[in-house]
Amino acid sequence: MIKHLRSKLVAATVIAAIAFSMSTARAQQKSEIALSRQPGIFYMPSHIMEKLKLIEKHAASLGVTGVTTKWITFSGGGAQTDALLAGGVDILNTGTGNLLLLWDRTRGGVKGIVATSAQPMTLISRDANIKSIRDFGPGDKIAVPTVKVSTQAIVLQIAAAEAFGADQWSKLDANTVQLGHPDAYAALSNPKHEVHNHFSIPPFTFLELKSVPGACGAVVARRDGRPAQPGAILHHNEVCRRQSKGHPGRARRHQGSAGSDPQRH
């Protein structure tokens, strides 16, 4: 597992450094790369990248010196996608749902760089009357990171289609409300809050099941028990595509280094 994590970190940092080094052709004065993530264990690889300054290290190995990074935490994927489209950040660490949304909105301009993690999602309820997805009524609010497009929202649609029929895939969309995981945890912890349900990921899953009275998990769960929440690092590809034409050998050489001995990085 440690070796696998190291390989993921190497791939992410090398390719992120390539992406940044290619963007310097557009703006030679740019020396800071802005990256975004969300709260949670899910984003631990990005914290290691920041702590060890891995992007700075690999940018220097590409010949781009003086690089600095700015890490920005957003509570949900919606704010992340808006920031990328507005040019406020260069690279996102987010869920696959947001990657697909951005890829569609930019007609393929946004590309995934590397998968970073996979963890189980759990739909948690503190309502004793909710034992399965069929028990949700019109007034039962479900917190998800981003309405309709987050991985949680999409999995909820799949579960609704399985429970109520394929034509009812959006039956529970009206129940969803957009809350980042920390805010959703706070909502569940407040007995007076209208949100009683949260499609959660670690560590918030553990916190809610431990500290929220009456909290019950696995209202929706994977049958095989495997992780169901993939994460990815992504960026806008247009600048990299233009600049890579001028430095194809350099890009290929350092992309190849992502598969080298992870102990060296």
CA–CA distance, 236 with 88 (Å, rounded to integer): 12
Q: Identify the three-state secondary structure at position 157.
A: helix
Question: What does the pLDDT read at residue 236?
Answer: 63
CA–CA distance, 6 with 265 (Å, rounded to integer): 8
Q: Identify the three-state secondary structure at position 210.
A: helix
CA–CA distance, 151 with 199 (Å, rounded to integer): 10
Question: What does the pLDDT read at residue 194?
Answer: 96
How many angstroms from the chain centroid is the CA of residue 248? 29
Q: What is the full per-residue pLDDT of the chain (265 aa) written as tens digits?
A: 445 555 555 555 555 555 555 554 444 556 888 999 988 888 888 999 999 999 899 888 888 888 899 999 998 888 898 999 999 999 999 888 888 888 898 888 888 888 888 888 899 999 999 988 999 999 999 999 989 988 899 999 999 999 999 999 999 999 999 999 999 999 999 999 999 999 998 899 999 999 999 998 766 655 454 545 556 777 665 434 444 444 444 444 444 444 444 444 5
Question: What does the pLDDT read at residue 75?
Answer: 83
Q: Domains, the chain, ranges and CATH? A: 2-118+230-264 (3.40.190.10), 122-211 (3.40.190)
How many angstroms from the chain centroid is the CA of residue 11? 17
Question: What does the pLDDT read at residue 230?
Answer: 59
Taken as a whole, the chain contains a residue count of 265
